[in-house]
Amino acid sequence: MVKGRHLGIAILSIALAILLLFTACAPSPPAEEEKVVKIGAILPVTGVAASIMQVGFRNLIDYIEYYDEVGVPGLELPPGVTIELIWGDSGYEPLRAISVYERIYQDVVCLDLASPVEDYAIKSRLERDGIAAMTYAVDEA
């Protein structure tokens, strides 16, 4: 009877050890995923318009950081949502603007276009892809 009792305790101990091992190795629940709203910008920070656009580009970065820290006036973002700027340099050249657009358009919810060169270069692509854009062009682009 003593042998049976020791055998039962041994089996019970092994079963508990296996149970503890499985629960310790179980995957933890995933952490809450941070949500990022990406805003794109295509602007000439090099080339003939660079001296004018440098200040505007720095202002855009400051606005995005401010909105991410303080919030967007009139818009309440859900908790855990951050705003990120994805940008590319067009060099004030239409083909470079198109190249930047093709690289970033799938990742952004809207675009900030800083010159008419970008506006005219990617207008048909914006319409095709349904991407909203803010432009500084003085005529209808």
Q: What is the pLDDT of residue 5?
A: 64
Q: What tokens were used for 127? A: 């319409």
Q: What is the pLDDT of residue 29?
A: 62
Distance CA 3, CA 99 (A): 79
Q: What is the pLDDT of residue 19?
A: 55
Q: How far is CA 130 from the centre of its chain?
A: 18
Distance CA 135, CA 115 (A): 7
Q: What is the pLDDT of residue 25?
A: 60
> Domains in the chain, please, with CATH?
35-135 (3.40.50.2300)
Distance CA 20, CA 14 (A): 10
Q: What is the pLDDT of residue 51?
A: 87
Task: Produce one character per residue of 66-92: b if its CB has 16 or more CB atoms within 10 Å, e if not.
Answer: ebbeeeeeeeeeeeeeebebbbbbbbb
Q: What is the pLDDT of residue 62?
A: 92
Are 40 and 87 contacting, i.e. CB atoms less than 8 angstroms apart? yes
Residue by residue, pLDDT tens for the chain (141 residues) are: 556 666 666 666 675 556 555 565 656 666 667 789 999 999 999 988 888 888 889 999 998 898 888 888 888 878 888 889 999 999 999 999 999 999 999 999 999 998 888 888 999 999 999 999 988 777 665
